[in-house]
Amino acid sequence: MKVKKMEAEVVDAELVLPNYLSFKRIQMYDKYPKGQSRGRHWKHLKQIIQAENYQNYPPDEPNYVNIESPPSMHPCKRICDITGYEAPYYDPKTNLRYANTDVFKMIRSLPNESVQRYLGMRNAAVVLK
């Protein structure tokens, strides 16, 4: 039986990470054996932060959470969701901000999907759960 092999150029470029690496004490296939369900052996950042129990430490000690920036004190610049110009107006129907009548005409002709994508850019889209 002919054993299928990788293409020569793929081998030449050493594109694929070898399974065995001599400098490793534990190989990948030992750590994560094939065929076994890996499950989720990692935590999301949120879980990591929760596990850190930052509330048990003095608040003036810097940590990942308390060095985060506060909300801005400056008045928010509002820009047109479509064109990026200054947006003095707001369309209550689509929730989009717009710069002038031309843009308004355009947003009223937009399908809802695009509207949601525009809103999604500033994290204001309607999310159905």
Partner 1 sequence: MPFISKIQRQFDYNRFSSTTPIVIDNGASYFRIGWAGESEPRVVFRNIVQRPRHKATGETVTIVGDHDPALLKYFDCTRSGPRSAFESDVVFQFEIMEYILDFAFDRMGATGSGIDHPILITECVCNPVQSRSKMAELLFETYGVPSIAFGVDAAFSYKYNQQRSVCDKDGLAMCPGFATTHVIPFVDGEPIYKGSCRTNIGGFHVTDYFQRLLSLKYPYHMARFTWEKVEDLKMEHCYVAQDYVSEARLFLKGAKEAEEKTKMWQLPWVPPPVEEPPSEEEIARKAAIREKQGQRLREMAEAKRSSKINELENELRGLEFLLNQLGHVQESDVRSFLAETGYVSRQEVESARSKVVQSLRKQKGEQTEIEKPDAASNEKYTLINIPDDMLTAEQLVEKRKQLSIKSMSDGRQRLKQKRYEEELERERKQQLEEERRLENPELYLEQLRAKYKDLSEKIDQRKRLKTNGGSSTNGNGNSLTGSVGRGERLSAAQRERMRLLTTAAFDRGKGEDTFGAKDEDWQLYKLMSKDNDDDDDEPDEDNTELARISSRLQDLDPTFVPKVESSSQPAEAPRIRPLTKEDFQIVFGVERFRCPEILFSPNWIGVDQVGLDEMAGVSMRRLSCKDEKLEQRMTNSILVTGGSSLFPGIIERLEAGIRMIRPCGSPIKIVRALDPVMDAWRGASAYASAPGFHTQTFTRMDYYEKGEDWLRSYQLKYSL
Residues near partner 1, by CB under 8 A: 4-7, 9-10, 13-18, 21-26, 28, 31-32, 38, 41-45, 48-49, 51-52, 60-64, 67-74, 76-77, 79, 83-86, 99, 114, 117-118, 120-124
Residue 23 Cβ vs partner 1, minimum distance, rounded to whole Å: 5
Nearby residues of 119 by Cβ (< 8 Å), 6 or more positions away: 81, 94, 95, 96, 125, 126
CA dihedral 77→82→86→88, nearest 10 degrees, is -90
Q: How many CA atoms lie within 13 A of 15 on its CB side?
A: 8
62/92 with CB nearer partner 1: 62
Task: Tell me the closest approach of the beta carbon of residue 89 to partner 1, in angstroms.
Answer: 14
Q: What's the min distance (Å) between Cβ of 62 and partner 1?
A: 4
Is the CB of 44 or the CB of 129 nearer to partner 1? Answer: 44
